[in-house]
């Protein structure tokens, strides 16, 4: 099994290498790939050092799986070349997510739709992944009618530059700005680019990707906020169902969902927080309570590590499914 990690020197790329190693994914040959300026640099994987290779060298080696975390333009340009040589591409960018021909996959929910013809597979946005992990079992039972979502997203979702800005501001050091405003001791109701409707691209992703994964008829509105947290996205979710529910049944359904952990003891001051989710693969759900303002409605608080389940872990889980199901492996 030959696996390429494209963008191996980046924040998410490094986490992909960690998760591949932690999960003991069959990797007989690892191909760390990055831009020309990074070729020859060393990365660590399972206690060994590997030299970063170029995109063309990686394509010529015809890997079985290539996990991309190198930005949308890179994916649009190079993913088809990998696919042409028989590689299964798992892409972390937004480049392919809303393409009708490309599956958008959260393994616990819809990996079963994958077939051998799906050479390019899209990984959803980090905030979408944790959202649908909590929503899927509830939608299957009660049918979601409408969602109102507010996210509180960590700066690592913007990359190393944003993390550096936060930590340098905290230390009183002037440095390059990832955001147009200060982020330490501040919050920014702005992630992505604003469109003509006043929504940001990150908000639009949440709406469109949730509809593609769960159901196109779910009406969704979102406000995405960047907060001075390094790792771990949080979401306040208001759900209106078509059918009424029993809270105890909601708790049972969430508790039975693989990858979801209920942590809901508010009377003891215990609920999901970014500090408890950091470094973990699970999606944590708490503050489970009925919305008293209208019928058939529920409030949830959902927290997950945006670099793990929100990116690297979900991508590696897709790779594991491809291997286990026998879809990948033809290039060995």
CA separation for the pair 280, 304 (Å, rounded):
8
Q: Taking the chain, what is the end-to-end CA distance rounded to the nearest angstrom?
A: 6
Mention every residue, 6+ apart, whose C-beta is less than 8 A from residue 2: 28, 29, 31, 61, 62, 63, 64, 65, 331, 332
In which element (H, E) is residue 223 found? strand 219-226
Of these residues, 126, 139, 181, 190, which one is catalytic? 126
Distances (CA, A) of 151 to 17, 300, 301: 27, 12, 10
With CA atoms as reference, report the closest residue to 318 among 122, 126, 148. 122
SS3 for 203? helix
Catalytic-residue membership of 233: yes
Of these residues, 139, 181, 190, 233, which one is catalytic? 233
**Residue 219 in contact with residue 206, Cβ under 8 Å?**
no
**Residue 104 in contact with residue 111, Cβ under 8 Å?**
no
Distances (CA, A) of 290 to 146, 177, 302: 15, 41, 15
Catalytic-residue membership of 139: no
Q: Which residues pair with 188 in a beta bridge?
A: 226
Q: Which residues are catalytic, by number?
A: 126, 233
């Amino acid at each position: 099994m030959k696996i390429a990690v494209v963008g191996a020197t980046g924040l998410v790329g490094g986490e992909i290498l960690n998760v591949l190693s932690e999960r003991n994914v069959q990797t007989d040959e690892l191909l760390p790939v990055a831009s020309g300026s990074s070729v020859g640099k060393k990365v660590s994987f399972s206690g060994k050092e590997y030299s970063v290779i170029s995109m063309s060298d990686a394509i010529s080696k015809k890997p079985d799986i290539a996990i991309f975390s190198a930005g949308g333009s890179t994916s649009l340009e190079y993913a088809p070349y990998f696919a042409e040589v028989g590689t299964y591409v798992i892409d972390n960018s937004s480049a392919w997510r809303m393409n009708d021909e490309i599956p958008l996959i959260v393994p616990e929910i819809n990996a079963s739709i994958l077939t051998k013809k799906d050479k390019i597979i899209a990984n959803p946005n980090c905030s979408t992944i944790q959202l649908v992990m909590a929503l899927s079992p509830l939608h299957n039972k009660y049918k979601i009618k409408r969602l109102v979502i507010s996210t509180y997203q960590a700066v690592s979702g913007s990359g190393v530059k944003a993390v550096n800005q936060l930590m340098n501001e905290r230390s009183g050091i002037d440095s390059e700005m990832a955001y147009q405003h200060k982020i330490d001791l501040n919050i920014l109701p702005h992630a992505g680019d604003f469109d003509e409707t006043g929504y940001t691209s990150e908000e639009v992703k949440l709406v469109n990707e949730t509809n593609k994964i769960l159901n196109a008829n779910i009406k969704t509105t979102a406000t995405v906020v960047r907060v001075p947290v390094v790792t771990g996205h949080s979401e306040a979710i208001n759900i209106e169902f078509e059918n009424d529910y029993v809270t105890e049944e909601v708790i049972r359904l969430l508790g039975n969902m693989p990858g979801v952990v209920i942590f809901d003891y508010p009377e003891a001051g215990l609920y999901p927080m970014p500090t408890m989710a950091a470094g973990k693969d699970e999606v944590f759900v708490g503050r489970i309570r009925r919305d008293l303002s209208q019928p058939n409605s529920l409030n949830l608080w959902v927290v997950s590590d945006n670099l793990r389940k929100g990116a690297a872990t979900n991508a590696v889980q897709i790779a594991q499914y491809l291997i286990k199901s026998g879809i990948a492996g033809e290039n060995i």
